[in-house]
Amino acid sequence: MELRRRSEDRNTSLPGLISHMQTVVEREKAVLARELHDELGGMLVAASMDLAWLEQHVGAGADQTRSEPQAPAEIRRRIARLRETLAGAVNIKRRIIEELRPTLLDNVGLFAALRWLVANTCAHAGIHCDVHVPSPEPHFNPDASIALFRVAQEALAIVMDHEWVRSVTLSLSGTGHLLTLSIAGNGPAASGPVETPVGDSYELATIRHRTGTLGGGVTFSPAPGEVRLSAWIPRERILC
């Protein structure tokens, strides 16, 4: 009896433990993103200012009429390479921050963050994308906002895992008391049927847990020429 009770306690507490871990991870991501923005961002700005000073004073781009001698070609080449490296570091910092905690999500809203996510993913893959969201944007509570973004992020990863996908459509719509987030990947009609172990994937399990915590659910619908994942959540659980 005691063993059975302990087993039931573990099973009951597991969803709560997973939710707690997800909350902690999101909080740590937000803290790390702020530190990267403030600390590393400040260092990169200082480095850019020093580089601009060097360019001015060694004559890397100086006017030939100035009294200072023109810097040797090797110095000019190395300064130019340093500027390219610094610009690359700034881009990497920005990308890491956006992946940790999208600034658009906090500063502009969920819909802007979803548009950025889909556009950025499709641009890297060289495929077409569409985003359909209602107007005006509802007032999502902060926890629901990041949860919906992560659901879209993981659903997009599942869809993009199919190499035949040539276009992606994200749509968010409300029907009755439910809000539905759907991501579909489309390709040649002859593609499929889809045979994939995605039903046991970590991404789909995570989506199921996130939506289940909010009282919703998810469906994964592979078919010839299309793969679609839809998550639905009760409005009262996600709106302010």
Local confidence band at 3 (pLDDT 50, 70, 90 cut-offs): very low
Instruction: Tell me: do 128 and 222 sit in the same domain.
Output: yes
Domain boundary among 41, 72, 100: 100
Structural domains counted in the chain: 2
- 144 and 229 together in one domain: yes
Shared domain for 62 and 115, answered yes or no, is no
Residues 58 and 155 in one domain: no
Whole-number pLDDT of residue 65: 47
**Max CA pair span of the chain:** 93
Q: Are 188 and 198 in contact (CB under 8 A)?
A: no
CATH number of the domain encompassing residue 189: 3.30.565.10
Q: Which residue range forms the structural domain that includes residue 177?
A: 109-237
- Structure confidence by residue, pLDDT tens digits, 75-88: 888 888 889 998 88
Is beta strand 167-175 parallel, antiparallel or unpaired with respect to 128-132? parallel
Are 12 and 48 contained in the same domain? yes
Q: Which structure tokens are listed for 130?
A: 């569409």
- Out of 53, 82, 100, a domain closes at 100
Q: Are residues 214 and 177 in the same domain?
A: yes
66's torsion region: left (phi>0), alpha (psi -120 to 50) or beta? beta
What SS3 string covers 84-127? HHHHHHHHHHHHHHHHHCCHHHHHCCHHHHHHHHHHHHHHHHCC
Residue 67 sits in the same domain as residue 126 = no
Tell me, yes or no, whether 24 and 84 share the same domain.
yes
Other Cβ atoms within 10 Å of 66 Cβ, number: 9
> pTM value?
0.71
Q: Which of 62, 77, 100 is the last residue of a domain?
A: 100
Whether residue 233 sits in one domain with residue 115:
yes
Do 92 and 128 fall into the same domain? no
Q: pLDDT by residue (tens digit) across 145-175?
A: 888 999 999 999 999 988 899 999 999 998 7
Residues 118 and 230 occupy one common structural domain: yes
Q: At residue 7, does pLDDT exceed 50?
A: no
